[in-house]
Structure 1
């Protein structure tokens, strides 16, 4: 390597504001005068002023000799530190004339400087030596470093570790810049040094030099000291891991040489070393032994680390392992699930997402037992968002019970204790599915539900319980027990609270009460207070009756249907009479509440009227009793089947097929030569199998995906051609622009960019000079804070730097349209959560359906694919219908929810065209409007394509 590589490099100068209160920086003469002063404080102030002036671009040539004469032999440590800064920024070479091609010559004064630097390298104070060695690591001039190499080598044998470790860094710096020209024996020197060194930091610095400049010696030292690597410190271990990745990626056959040290580092006390070792081991191999060891390390990090960010990073690694090595991770599932005790609900959800697909018949009992214990803890826990955590656990238990019937019985008895508190809706929905799927458990579950009616305080939970009892209570004993309990909690009609009015006074209003009280000093006083209205009726009222009296019309309709089913099955006249009286009370209550709930009251009247006809009219009972009693269970059973099929289909889609070449080589372990040390694990087969199955070759896919996001910004005839590639990250956009100078002259180019929408340009592209017919790449960063369609536009300003008088040229760039689909990801949620968000979100966008598609299911598939959403509604595509309603759901990268309801009808009287509306709801206006624009645009594209096809057909005819 040439010695003059960095000799012409000037240190960067910049302008610093001077202190106006002191009249600014002193001049060169004043600085020279102050440097002659005997007071060290005055010298320090003068040297600081000289450094500041030179950083601002001043030469100050006379100051150099003054520093050499009056400061170079000082014993003041602060002044020595300032002198090192001064040596770093002072010009060291003689100025050259413009256009001269000769090598610049070193200033004669620098010989004296080198002598002073050598004195500090031989100073008896170890900290002065170490500081000088650290300073030499910043020097890039070979003529200055050359005379000092002998003293630097001597420092390697110093008694103090501070000097030795900085000497090793200095030798690495010299050898990296100038190769064999300054210290040709540096690798051998470091090899001998590292074998004799005992200090952790010095050994790490020496190994750093071998790692970068003498890789063979570094590997040899590692193989000889493989058992002592963990004693060399954390920094040394991280260097070994970096060396392992570097060597094995270049030569996969070298993997077996690093196996022992990798497995040792997995048990390191340092979290960073164990994490990097696990990541390195998995990245180099997919052998079961390696994956099992890495998974165990990740699970131990989950339980030992308290930082939530660290846990999320480890969970991301475990999720990647689960996608490729499911069977191996099943062995450490319980270790992973221990992290579910974290108080952070996001971590709990992530752990469950990783752990639930790993449940199998061997570990299901342990998993369910852990989940049951966590559910029981939520009864007395004050953890924030405890109800959401309980809902996560119940959902996980439900999935286990659905897959493995043997655990369902023990799970139901535990969860039924929550039916009267928070999370009761999730529990009762789980119970509803269990009652349908496992007939052997119905009797016990129904009896528990009947006994829990008095404890249920939420209307939605009561509705589900009533439906379950009405559908699955079929024998006489269960019907009688359920009917008596419901009527006891419901009470007798009427279900309307009477307002007491006497002489214009309302009995329920609070009254003023005056009474005598005794004050703290023993005196009497008169106190007037407001008394609360009487609540004698509310105290004795059951939860079910209170819901009906308060006007829950929907619950009344379900109660009427449930009591009618009991009467039809039992054929008991007394039960029928009580049912009719209760329904009359429901109808009267609905009439009173109809002013605020007209549509609900109308539906309730129709339902109650139908129930009365079934009970009173024998012909109506014969026609509808079969459908009334059996169709509900059949429909619910088919719904559960469709949900299971949908889950199975989605799991199959996740396992994407891999493609590989038929002639790729595969190394089979049993047929390979048994070479290497005993106990070593051959990890080379893992990468070969990945490559053979096509899982390791994704370079072409990445290149093709990058081409899809490339936009042409200027025309081919413009003097400067520009095209941009967009990389969308989670919260920012990286814009990489390539500019090509198509003229025979150099061009100075600057790009001015602007944005429309909720975007902010945080890094603007820098101005560049492009050589004739050359090209350059500029980059810009744009921050995004919400999901909203935006535009990027701008202008290229170009001019000829060789001709300043020439006018500037301007090129308007094509707009870059950011599609909202780059930020929308398909997601799933429960029907209850969807309905809750639908009622909560205030922004709605209603889009009319205008399409040429004639099939309902094809139109739904088109909307789902173009909006990048998932369909939550199970669709039976075998049935022929003229109406379709479906709910779609997606999440943005900013955790924003997008809800879509598609209601489409096929008009038989209008040629089979589809009509209806697509309603979009979200918490923010931007995502609702952007999704509406997206749906409108994809419908227009359909019509345009159909029009083009028709026009083409007409031309052919």
Structure 2
């Protein structure tokens, strides 16, 4: 199988090929329930051999399968628990723990998941056991030295130098070896927490609370002793994570967010829930057991609707009418004009999808190049195509003499290149002349076109030069809204090097109005469904935005804003792209959107 062939190679091209294979298997298995179980078993078998990105894709696929096919949940849970013993990535473990917390719905599955989690943590409390292991390692090293002395091995007696002083000896290598050996023997969750992955500790705490609540709901308090034991063990694990996070046994201290989340889980389990009529307890319990899965289910429904809409649009675009003739290119003669290349067909589709220009839109693209008092008046109509810009320049002779050998010259800044140069011409008194030039565009960076008009003077050795105003190419003509999956967005966000952070302060009344203005001004697509919860009453917003240029360049943005009572909207937009130019250009566009919204609100007031 192709996927098995790529599992033993770490080259970049094999990694990308592996990603494509897993994505294709994912899309095919979701459509056919009869093969979903076997596909999940196959992917989980060698999940530990995949890199982190591919393993996360497998976990994403497993999430969707266990949600859409309830009959397969028990078998998938058992296979997942078995496969987790080989996983070393914290990101994969977090996704797996979420699946165990949400879909372990009977007593046997809950206890199996609990036993696996318990074995993956090791001896608790973690801090006390680590101290004990360190002491045991030290005493074990001393006993090994005594044994080596008795067996006649190399002795560790002090070495006296010729000057009568004792030689120094470094035992750091022994400690390091012992430390590395101890690290390799640690269970996976314990090792990740000691390495500083406290987000995993927060997800683990949430999973433990979910398992306890589901066990209590299933047993109906018939096994009180077991339930109390699970609660006590869960709180011991959480407290152990907090204590080791503040100790010197970890590389970095626990962060505030993870610590607060773990504290909340401990407080919830420690409260007396005998009064089950409490609204607060019911609300928190629903947040653990229902809301997260409902949010994931709604996310899947939104993705399915988007995919169905894309399929219907593609079918409608490519569908042929009943009476349309079918042309077989292989059976056509060479002189038939209907035979066209695939590239021409693609260009025709692009042209067909573009909106027809009207007079108002054409007037908006006219740029004045010279002043009315200049001897030569010039204006240009800027027409943007997919990969080039055409300047149609109108030149007017405002003098009473003939302008001889008049030429319009253009130069560019940025990723622009002048393809053709207009020819010289003679223009009579008050005459008109039109010239056209094509400029090739190679990227979505902001470009500048500048130039001048040159014509002969009264004497042969004299020339008159009229400087033209600069023409700025709008990158929005090459930026189109696009859609990508969440894991693809995060992967590109981590890979892209250039980031532009823009601070926002707007006087718009609602967060939704600012989001709409930003999407319209930057031609970006919002990837976060339900970014605003609670309508106009919501005071904060966080959303991911995505767009793609005509040249295949990706542009990512993260919007984080808030609005206080009777105050302006404040926050920031972080833009990331592979090239510096696109990030800076979009940043200027975001700043201009903020200025326009402030002006519009001031004018309306």
Asked if TM exceeds 0.5, the reply is yes
Name the structure 1 match of 2:181.
Answer: 536
Closer/same/farther in 2, CA of residues 855 and 644 from structure 1, 3 Å limit: farther
1:883 aligns with 2:540: yes
Counterpart contact for 2:525–2:547, Cα < 8 Å: yes
Aligned to 2:402, the other structure's residue is in SS state coil
User: Which stretches in structure 2 are left out of the alignment for 5+ residues?
Assistant: 146-152, 155-169, 217-225, 326-331, 340-344
Query: For residue 625 of structure 1, what is the aligned residue in structure 2?
Result: 285
Q: Tell me the CA shift for residue 610 of structure 1.
A: 2.3
CA contact (8 A) 1:750 1:765 kept: no
Residue 433 (structure 1) aligned with residue 88 (structure 2): no
In structure 2, C-alpha distance between the alignment counterparts of 1:900 and 1:374, rounded to whole Å: 35
Shift in Å, 1:650: 5.1
Secondary structure of 2:255's match? helix
**Paired residue secondary structure (1:464):** helix
Q: Which whole-Å CA distance do the structure 2 matches of 1:742 and 1:667 have between them?
A: 59
- Distance in 1 between the 2:186 and 2:386 partners? 54
Structure 2 counterpart of 1:714, from 370, 388, 391:
370
Residue 220 (structure 2) pairs with residue 592 (structure 1) = no
Maintained 8 Å contact 2:194/2:250: no
| Structure 1 partner of 2:27 | 399
Q: How does 1:36-55 map to 2 (within 5 A)?
A: none
Give the corresponding residue for 1:609.
Answer: 263
**Post-superposition offset of 1:493:** 1.9
Distance 1:407 1:832 in 2: 24
Structure 1 residue 775 and structure 2 residue 442: aligned?
Answer: no
1:401–1:407 CA contact under 8 A, matched in 2: yes
- Tell me if the contact between 1:567 and 1:575 (Cα under 8 Å) persists in the aligned partners: yes
Contact 1:882 1:905 in 2 (8 A): yes
Aligned to 1:474: 105
Asked if 1:565 is matched to 2:565, the reply is no
Q: Which residue of 2 aligns with 1:821?
A: 476
1:576 paired with 2:234, answer no
Distance 1:697 1:579, change over 3 A: closer
Residue of structure 1 equivalent to 2:529? 874
**Residues 589-613 of structure 1: CA distance to partner in whole angstroms, max 9, x if unpaired?**
1112799756x53223322222223
How far apart, CA to CA, are the structure 2 residues paired with 1:667 and 1:483?
A: 61
Give 3-state SS (helix, strand or coil) of 2:454's partner: strand
Give the equivalent residue in structure 1 for 2:565: 908
Residue of structure 1 in register with 2:120 after alignment? 489
Are the counterparts in 2 of residues 568 and 615 from structure 1 also a CA contact under 8 Å? no
Residue 864 of structure 1 corresponds to 519
Closer, same or farther: CA 906–797 of 1 in aligned 2, 3 Å? same
Distance between the aligned counterparts of 2:350 and 2:578, measured in 1? 39
1:685-704 superposed matches below 5 A:
701=356
Whole-Å Cα distance in 2 between the matches of residues 585 and 699 of structure 1? 61
* TM-score of the aligned structures, taking structure 1 as reference length: 0.49
Per-residue deviation at 1:883? 1.9
Q: Tell me the residue number matched to 2:84.
A: 453
Q: Mapping of 1:198-597 within 5 angstroms?
A: 373-380=1-8, 384-420=12-48, 421-422=50-51, 423-496=54-127, 497-498=130-131, 533-534=177-178, 535-571=180-216, 572=226, 573-592=228-247
Name whichever structure is richer in strand by fraction. 2
CA distance in 2, matches of 1:747, 1:884: 62
Following the alignment from structure 1 to structure 2, what is the Cα–Cα distance between the partners of residues 879 and 647?
Answer: 27
Alignment deviations for residues 295-316 of structure 1 (CA, whole Å, 9 cap, x no partner): xxxxxxxxxxxxxxxxxxxxxx
Q: 2 CA distance for matches of 1:551 and 1:699? A: 52
Secondary structure of the corresponding residue to residue 556 of structure 2: strand
Query: In 2, are the aligned partners of 1:587 and 1:604 still within 8 Å (CA)?
Result: no
Aligned-pair distance for 1:768?
Answer: 0.6
More deviation in 410-419 or 457-466?
410-419
Cα distance in 2, alignment partners of residues 452 and 853 from structure 1: 51
Aligned-pair distance for 1:813? 1.4
Greater helix percent: which structure?
Answer: 1
Q: 1:426: Cα distance to partner?
A: 0.1
Q: Distance in 1 between matches of 2:551 and 2:12?
A: 22
Cα distance in structure 2, aligned partners of 1:621 and 1:550: 40
Describe the shift of the 1:655–1:906 C-alpha distance in structure 2 as closer, same or farther (beyond 3 A). farther
Name the CA shift for 1:764/1:885 in 2 (closer, same or farther; >3 Å): same
In structure 1, what is the Cα distance between the partners aligned to 2:305 and 2:500?
32
* C-alpha contact (below 8 Å) 1:667/1:685 kept by paired residues: no
The equivalent residue for 2:161 is: none
Distance change in 2, residues 1:450/1:888 (3 Å)? same
Deviation at 1:900, TM superposition (A): 1.1
Compared CA separation, residues 495 and 713, structure 1 to 2 (3 A)? same
The equivalent of 1:67 in structure 2 is none
CA contact (8 A) 1:495 1:549 kept: no
1:937 Cα deviation after fit: 1.2
In the TM superposition, residue 944 of structure 1 has moved relative to its aligned partner by: 2.9
C-alpha separation in 1, matches of 2:249 and 2:315: 53
Bigger relative contact order (CA 8 A; separation at least 6): 2
Greater gyration radius: 1
Decide which of 803, 807, 812 is 2:467's aligned counterpart: 812
Q: Report deviation, 1:632.
A: 1.9
Give the C-alpha shift of residue 891 in structure 1.
Answer: 3.0
Contact 1:551 1:593 in 2 (8 A): no
Alpha-carbon spacing, 1:795–1:696, altered in 2? closer, same or farther (3 Å): closer
RMSD: 4.3
Relative to structure 1, the CA distance from residue 561 to residue 760 in structure 2 (aligned partners, 3 Å threshold; closer, same or farther) is: closer
* Aligned CA distance change for structure 1 residues 818 and 587 (closer, same or farther; 3 Å): same
Map 1:914-925 onto structure 2 (within 5 A): 914-925=569-580
Alignment partners' CA distance in 1, 2:135 and 2:466: 82
- CA displacement at 1:450 relative to structure 2: 0.9
Pairwise CA distance, 1:453: 1.6
Of 380, 389, 392 in structure 2, the residue corresponding to residue 724 of structure 1 is 380
Could you tell which deviates more after superposition, 940-949 or 790-799? 940-949
Q: CA deviation at 1:620?
A: 8.6
Cα shift at 1:492: 1.2
CA gap 1:596/1:895 in 2 versus in 1, 3 angstroms: farther
Tell me how far 1:710 sits from its aligned partner: 4.3
Structure 1 pair 621/637, CA: closer, same or farther in 2 (3 Å)? farther
The Cα shift of 1:456 comes to: 0.9
Maintained 8 Å contact 1:639/1:874: yes
Secondary structure of the corresponding residue to residue 854 of structure 1: coil
How far off is 1:449 after superposition? 0.7
1:796, 1:812 within 8 Å by CA — same for their partners in 2? yes
Are 1:790 and 2:451 counterparts?
no
